[in-house]
Each structure stands twice: as structure tokens, then as C-alpha cells.
Amino acid sequence: MPEVNSSGGARIRYDDVGRGGPALLFIPGWCTTRAAFRPLLPRCAARRRVLSVDLRGHGESEGGGTDFDSATVLEDLLTVVEASGAQQVVPVAMSHAGWWALELRRELGAERVPRLVVMDWIISEPPLAFTEALRGLMSERWAEAREGLFRMWLEGVEDENLIRFFREEMASFGEEMWARAAREIASAYAREGSPLRALFGLRPPTPTLHLYAQPESHDYLANQVAFSVNNPWFHVMKLPAISHVPMMEVPDLVAAGIEAFVSAQQTYMNTALDTPGAAPS
């Protein structure tokens, strides 16, 4: 398994499979591991190179022995990209790992990060219930707040693999990591407002695909479609899945959506980039 030495002496481990560019960079969210991408990995690697990372302090990557933040994780990801030798990467980010995808685009530029794929991200400003959950994770009530999230994420889910993913894998992370995750996610929303607003600020605009299954809210989808009408570089795909990890439920659809988006004709993308956009409301 490839690994790189990053700051603080932490060894960051990742998979490197498949051939062809631009390479996909799978980035798990906080309190998850690259195992979440396991069903997707062979499907995407059949078409192009895939780098699938365990975050610092997660899975098979080391933590470095001290507290760390989103900037440290970004440094780790940049180290992986440079060590891989990939000339271009398309981040495929799970949930709030979308913030790292955004920062990779800012750091490496549009030439090296030509597209972004984000999955199950709260793409608008965060709802009050989510903000309160983040506060709870940073308090002595952290276990209660985490349980509330698990109940919400598992509503209607009967698949044993998905239940195991939440109840065993995500639950294996303790108070320190959940509090760190809440701190960093809250900080990102406070700084940027919303992912849509942050993506709108990229110059030149970067073609972005949002793949998600939940929530079922009509307004949530309608607002994204309306944004895409005014900003044709943004694409949204609602998936027929029950959980917040659609790449584990419908990996064939997710892989097909990613490949179609990444391999889209450059002339089409150039046309989209030349079209004036409108800021999110």
C-alpha cells in the first residue's frame, strides 16, 4: 500500500489503482475511512486511475500524536497528490470532505483540478438542526448528539452493511475526533457561508457535480436546479437511495455519473465556463 510522510511524522496511506487521467482522488468525510469507497473503487478504476485516501488519524493513516485541523488534512492531501505524480486530479469528496475538494482547487488551480465531484454535502447554508448537532458534538453531550445523527442517517435503512457502517465503523471514533470534526465543519460554514457560495467564488468557475440521495426535500433539489440554470458549470444528480452514503447503495449509478461527468467533451465545458453565472440566493 502506498504511503507518504506528512507533517508531524504522520504516515498517510492510500490505494492507487487503475490507469488514465485525470485521476480521481477519493476523500472520505470525518469519522469515516476509505472503506466507504470500497464498492466504488473497482468500478471507477476500470476506466481511470483512482487514489483513495485514509485521512490523518483515520483507518490506516497515522494521527501524528497531536491535535490537527482541516489545514493539516489539506496538507496531507496535497502531499499525496504530489507523491502520486498525477498531473490532474478530480476530487471525489464524501460529505464535508467537499471543503477539502474546494481547497485543493484553490491551491492547485483549474489546470490541475479541472472538475469537482461532491457527494451528499449540505450544499446550502446549514439548517438549524445540523448547527445544533455540531454544538452538541463539541459538548459533554457529544454521545447523545452523535446518536441523534445516527438515528437520522439510519432512518428507513435496513441494509446490514449500511447499519454496520454507521454503528460500527463511524461509532468506533471517539469524543476527540467527533469534536474535532464538528469544530472544523462549523468553522468552514462560518467562513464560507455555504458550499454553493464558495464554489461560485472560484475563478474561473470549476465544473462541479453534486451527487446525493438525501434529503428527499423538493425545495432542496429545486434550489440546486435553479442555481445550475444560472451557473451551467454546476450539475446535480439526485440518486435513488435511502441513506447518506449512496456510493455504498447504488455504486453502479454513482460510478457511471462520475465517469460521464469527468469524460464530458471539453468543448461543452468551455461553453459552460463562458456563460455568466448568478450568485446563490
CATH, residue 269? 3.40.50.1820
Kindly report the number of other CB atoms within 10 A of residue 78's CB atom.
Answer: 16
Q: Is residue 14 part of a domain?
A: yes
Cα–Cα distance between 109 and 202 in angstroms, integer? 10
Cα separation, 18 vs 273, in Å, equals: 29
Domain count, the chain: 1
249: left (phi over 0), alpha (psi -120 to 50) or beta: alpha
Rounded (5°) CA angle 105-229-201:
30
Which amino acid is present at 83?
A: A
Is residue 169 a part of any domain in this protein? no
Total residue length of the chain: 281
Q: Quick one: pLDDT at residue 271?
A: 45
pLDDT at residue 276 in the model: 52
Q: What pLDDT, on the 0 to 100 scale, is given for residue 9?
A: 83
Position 145 in a domain:
no
Query: 100 lies in which domain range?
Result: 3-123+194-273
pLDDT at 68: 93
Asked whether residue 254 is assigned to any structural domain, the reply reads: yes
Domain contains 8: yes
How high is the pLDDT of residue 221?
A: 96
Domain assignment present for residue 15? The answer is: yes
pTM: 0.93
Which regions of the chain are under pLDDT 50?
265-274
What pLDDT is attached to residue 147? 96
Structural domain includes residue 98: yes
The C-alpha atoms of residue 149 and residue 168 are separated, in whole angstroms, by 14
Active site residues: 244
Domain presence at residue 158? no
